[in-house]
Structure 1
Amino acid sequence: MSFVLQTTDMDLGDTPIENIFINDYMPMANGTYVKVYLLGYKYAHDRDINIEVNNTTISKHLDIPLEDVLRSWDFWEEKGIIEKIRPENTRNVNYEVKFLNLKQLYIKNNINLWLEDDSLAKTYVYNTRDLVDANKVPEINNMFNNIDHILRKQTVPGEKKKILDWIHDYNMNPDVIEKAVYYSVERRGVKNLPYIEAIVRNWYNDGLTNMEALMNHFKESDEKYYRYQRVMKALGLDKRPMRDEERKLIDIWFEKWKFTLELALHGCEQDKNPTPSVSYVNGILRSWNEKGIKTIEDIEVLDKRKENPKTSGAKKQVKKAQASVTRFHNFEQRTDKYSSAQLEDIARKKRDAYSQRAKGDA
């Protein structure tokens, strides 16, 4: 008598993944890096000698370029959770990958910290110095200040260290990290760092690592948010959270009045106040809407109309004055057709007639 277990035609097994990876390492990686790690870990766990697997196998299985697989192992090696093993002086891409036990790493690291006080102190001083050095870079310093303003709180050193990790891990510019915080707060209403990091990671996966690419993305996928950003930037207010009333006013410009972005930005240029505001620009645009203005060309026509009435009014006054002078001086008097002798004879006759009437009355 013997005992036999039936085998399945498909893989219905289990691959245990340590929670340390899920909680601590997975959030810092993009989706491709995670997929490569998990599939490689599965192959390592299965240990099926009948199946030969390597980086090329992973590339085909995940339908991704081999270069992405190699970059993934570079990333995880840098994080210290795998080792690449290959013969010296060879550039073979199908090297062996050794997955380190994360629990053991965690225990060793913490025991060393507690047993070596000097090491613990050095670690703390290093992190503090790292932040101090980072703050000496104007772009980094501005990023931290703006993030504090957006979150309406002072970020602690641990949070700042995490944000610096994003710049390194995702190769992100500081202004893009800042915009991720702004987008999370303004568009999603979320202020916690794990959620913001997920946004950063998604942008990285989409290749949105600079502001130009990011704004083009917003223009195509989130036109309303793109308009918000352009208007607030034009007014110099893009470093603070938007207010609900500002969003409502901007929505009216485009959705009710049907203004173009070009015209709205032209309206922003008219706000010359020391402290520009959306409400002031709204007053300008409301006036334009009431006058039927829908393009910048319409504004130019209106400006010409404003100039013409003043000019034509002046001309009318000149004409009126000239007409008065002309009417007075061009008046043809009846005496103009008599000679001086005839005029004297007429005057003498009138005097004689007047004298005769005077005697008769007497």
Structure 2
Amino acid sequence: MDVKKLKQDVIEYAQQIGIDKIRFASADTFETLKERLIENRTLGYESGFEEPDIEKRTNPDLLLPKAKSIIAIALAYPSKMKDAPRSTKGERRGIFCRASWGKDYHHVLREKLDQLEEFLTSQRSDVRTKSMVDTGELSDRAVAERAGIGWSGKNCMIITPEFGSYVYLAEMITNIPFEPDERVEDQCGSCNKCIDACPTGALVNPGQLNSQRCIAFQTQTKGFLPDEFRTKIGNRIYGCDTCQMVCPINKGKDFHLHPEMEPDPEIAKPLLKPLLTMKNREFKEKFGHVAGSWRGKKPIQRNAIIALAHFKETSALPELVSLLHKDPRPVIRGTAAWAIGKIGEADVKDELEKALIREQDEEAKAEIEKGIQLLKETSATN
């Protein structure tokens, strides 16, 4: 079959199944990316969630022998929530980042890639493919940049002219020599708003991210959140959108093209207090379908505790004291103790002191001591 015609047929089919943008790239080794990945590893900027083998991350031929091209796809997701509930005193709410508002995008894009693969196979019997979404070996952003889906912004996001950076990315390596598309010209210019706005300085240079300092990464860790990030996290319980929200290209970009990506406001912006005592089964039933649930309940609960401290939500003290005394997890007990101190009601000091005597975990004990110290500082200033 004529490869040029097949490419056009693939593009038309992609449009029929709801893929918002599709482009094609060569399967050459990503040499520039390889240099950057080596540098980031040396500097300690990796998150640890990535594929550890840099060769696999940069050489498509290792993933699909005799790879000839890569098909890159993008689906646009909403940036605004309809009928978003307000966070009020006594009814404080957390927030999931926009990439976790609807059905888990890994499943959504995987379904699209499976359909594309079936279509290609129906057209050519010799087709071989390897598809991936986010957790695969290749860098979705590097593929999308090469294919011309968009340019790589200073915030390390792919920014498309049509949809801004509010797009999910995925790719398919093939053994078909599709003609590559041209790249999109970088339009960031002299703008540094994302770098200036990053709450933790994680964007160390244009296009260079220290993942260890990124709030999106920190919200996904399972241990104690480092002190310096606790005042930065606000009410975020998963992810961070700051570098997208300040981007001028994203202004006015809000697409509601896929019903499965529409957020349920009670899930995307949930009440915080109910999260503290939620059982595993209830958590999976309510949040299991969104991308932000992938690390389980514990990080979300820890972040919810920190968010309540951020709001100084005194009505949450009974729940926090209960966690302090009864939760089997040191991270939750300790974070609750710190939050109690941060909220600053002197009449709970006895609860912290009783917990300190009983606590066996050294890290949790240190957090209880922090809580007591915070209460002392609060009472000294009142």
Calculate the TM-score normalised by the size of structure 1.
Answer: 0.28
The structure richer in strand per residue is 2
- Higher-Rg structure is 1
The structure richer in helix per residue is 1
Relative contact order: is structure 1 or structure 2 higher (C-alpha 8 Å, sep ≥ 6)? 2
